[in-house]
Amino acid sequence: MMSPLLGVLGGMGPAATADFLAKLAAHTPATRDQEHIATIVYSDPTTPDRSDAILADGEDPLPAMFRGIAFLDEAGCDLIAIPCNTAHHWYDDLAAATTVPVVHIVDAVAAQVERDAPDATTLGLMATDGTVRSGIYEKVLAQSGKRVIDLTDLGPDNPVMAGIRAVKAGSLDGARDILSNAARELLGRGADGIIYGCTDVSAVLGLPPDGIDAPAWDAAEALAIACVNRIRG
Residues annotated as part of the active site: 84, 198
Rounded distance between C-alpha atoms, residue 125 and residue 11, angstroms: 22
| Contact status, residue 57 vs residue 209, Cβ threshold 8 Å | no
Rounded distance between C-alpha atoms, residue 21 and residue 119, angstroms: 31
- CA distances from residue 205 to 59, 67, 75, 134 in whole angstroms, order as listed: 30, 31, 33, 23
Rounded distance between C-alpha atoms, residue 58 and residue 140, angstroms: 26
Contacts of 62 (CB under 8 A, 6+ apart): 90, 93, 94
Edge to edge, the sheet with strand 79-81 lists: 38-43, 5-10, 79-81
